[in-house]
Structure 1
Amino acid sequence: MSQHPINLTVNGEDVQATVSARRLLCDFLRDDLHLTGTKRGCETGTCGACSVLVDGEVVKSCLSLAVQARGSAITTVEGLATGEALHPLQESFMNCGGLQCGYCTPGFLMASCALLAVNPGPSEAEVRTGLSGNLCRCTGYTQIVESVLKAAEKMHGN
């Protein structure tokens, strides 16, 4: 299998690696960089558990090759917190019950982060639409939507 050098930024850190042409981005992040917050769920791009931000856009890392991220800035759930201080989305998910088993939570956090970057004051309907690429089998979505709305309020005073 051919190997390809890649240079990218992951959670603010420069990363240089050599990967096979077929290496999935989710496997590169989890196995090579040990950033295990990114989950492998359905492996078809349906559930969103593998969602990360690539240059600020939500990407399903189970459908993306690591070589496609060459030169990009990637943010995983591990990159949301600042030191020991949780990101407002993380705090809201914890305080509003937006997580239960937690498996889908990293993907929801990343999709929520992207949503609030482009729409700092979303309505409930806009949050539901913005998170429609992610599935949760535990919460029923009400607490997730409440978590995002609470974080938006905290972050942007909406």
Structure 2
Amino acid sequence: TAVNGPNPNKLEYPIRELVAYLTLWSNIKSPNALGLGTMKTSSDLWSHLEKEFMVVSKSSRKRKEDALHNCRYTGGGITGNGGYAEKIRALYKDATDTGATISDEQLITLFVDSFPRSPEWLPILAGLADESNFNVTANRLSGTAQLRTREPLRPPHRNRR
């Protein structure tokens, strides 16, 4: 059987099992302190580690969801490096990584709702009600922000004599 074959024969299995077990065991800082000394197979060891370290608490998930829900746009860039859209995406990833179920539509709604309900923003926010693409939403809001911060064009000054 090939070294990386998924189905070792009966003679190879004990060797592969031992390699898997020792690989897991050697990557744990203090296995006996974690109560892992009684594990007989690599599968037992792996199952125990998954139960111990992969479980996310409900309070952790709730904190991540709340951080996303409470995020508000206060100014600055919307798109690009370090922009507000990037911040929202990072909070979204944190929340979904802890088990939150937030659809793309919900993310867009949270993003749009995080902008101020001021006269400058209301026209563009109302126009985004049916948008289903986060990038399009972010770019349209970014364009509005850029237009708002730009000074009005003035006619060229002419010297009159």
> Is TM (by shorter chain) over 0.5?
no
Task: Compute the TM-score of the two structures, normalised by the length of structure 1.
Answer: 0.27
Structure with more helix by fraction: 2
Structure with more strand by fraction: 1
Which of structures 1 and 2 has the larger relative contact order (alpha carbons within 8 angstroms, sep 6+)? 1
Task: Compute the TM-score of the two structures, normalised by the length of structure 2.
Answer: 0.26
